[in-house]
Every structure is written in structure tokens, then in C-alpha cells.
Amino acid sequence: MSRVGKLPVNIPDNIKVIINNNSISFDNGKVKKNYSVSKGVKIEFVEKQIKLVAQENAPSNISMFIGMDRSNIKNIVLGLQTPFKTTLEINGVGFKTAVDKTTLVLTLGYSHEIFYAIPKGVTIAPEKPNLLVITGDDKVLVGQTVAEIIDFKGTEPYKGKGIKILGKAILRKEGKKK
């Protein structure tokens, strides 16, 4: 079995867990999340801990699925405790952001504004004119949203203009020499 899959997932007191066959429901009073484990994985819930084990007739490569399912369950529990948060930094002359209810409006030096529909479960708030805070209780959805926004104008290596994750180092290149 994988090393990650062997570890149990501890469930805090404020999260309720309901197990039905191969699916788990998590509820913290505000948000309810469901997760279905892979085929061949059995769920054991003992003393506020979830442990995943292989079923008797499971294929030989089931350990990698157990590790993946354990990581996904752990991320759901962490997201229900404290939301995941990522801050984007926008560098460039005239680059602006605005949020209109369910739409993010980006002005990134193109001839037109870019309208991005904010997915459900994700909150986008401008902190400063050049900072954008993305929060949500689903780690995968927050990461996917961040990646889609960065794709509109990734940071270029010569002047550093574009969108990047705050604190992430950008490989800078030297310009032309005469």
C-alpha cells in the first residue's frame, strides 16, 4: 500500500461524516460536500478517523487509488475547516481588475476587456488595485480558477508584466545588448 494511503484522516468535532457504500458526505453546518472513493476501495470509520483499505477482490494497482482518495478526503476536511486562499499579483501599466457579482472583469492591455465567470464555490475579491484574493473550500476548484486567470496574461520574463501568484519567483531574462 502507498505511504500516503496508510495514514488515517482525522475528522474534527465540528464536521459530521455520513458513509454510504463507496461515498462519504461531509457537513460542517454551512457547506455539505460529497466524495465517492475509487472502485475497490473500502472505507472504515473508527473513533473520528477515516481509514481507506483495499477490498478483497481489488486489482493490484489499488494502492495508488487509495493514496489519491485519502489526499482528496484530507483536502475536503481541511477546506471545511478553513477555506483555501491564493493571492494573485497583477503587474503592468493600466492593468486593472473589477468584480461584478458573478463576473471578474480584467483589463490587461488588450484591445478589449476580459470577462471571466466566477465558478460557484469560489470567491474573488480585489484586495488592492494590483492584488486579487481567491478563496474557496475546494482546493481543486481554487487551483483551477487561479490557473485559468493566469492563462489570460501570464508573466513575461523580460519586464515581469502579467499575472502571477504572490510570492512566486519569476525567471527573469536579460534584454538585448548593444
Digit-coded pLDDT (tens) for 50-76 = 999 888 887 888 888 999 999 999 999
- Say whether 86 sits in a helix, a strand or coil: strand
* Contact indicator for 127, 166 with CB cutoff of 8 Å: no
Considering only residues 178 and 123, tell me which one the structure prediction assigns the higher pLDDT.
Answer: 123
Does the pLDDT of residue 161 top 90, yes or no? yes
Q: So what's the pLDDT on residue 102?
A: 93
9-81 is classed CATH 3.50.50.60: no
* Cβ pair 25, 90 in contact under 8 A: no
Confidence of residue 129 (pLDDT cuts 50, 70, 90): confident
* Pairwise CA distance, residues 79 & 15, whole Å: 11
pLDDT value at 1 more than 80:
no
For the chain, residues classed under CATH 3.90.930.12 are 9-81, 84-165
Query: In the structure, what pLDDT confidence band is assigned to residue 2 with cuts at 50, 70 and 90?
Result: low
User: What confidence score (pLDDT) does residue 118 get?
Assistant: 96
H helical segments located in the chain: 3-6, 62-81, 139-152
The arithmetic mean of pLDDT across residues 100-121, rounded, is 93
Superfamily of domain 84-165: Ribosomal protein L6 (3.90.930.12)
**What's the CA gap between 127 and 97, in Å, rounded?**
10
Those residues whose C-beta lies under 8 Å from the C-beta of residue 97, and which sit 6 or more positions away, are 90, 104, 105, 106, 107, 126, 129, 132
Tell me what pLDDT residue 56 has.
85
Q: How many CB atoms lie within 10 A of CB 133?
A: 15
* C-alpha cell at position 147: 490557473
Query: What's the whole-number mean pLDDT along residues 144-168?
Result: 93
pTM for the model: 0.86
Question: Which residues 6+ apart lie within 8 Å of 111 measured at CB?
Answer: none
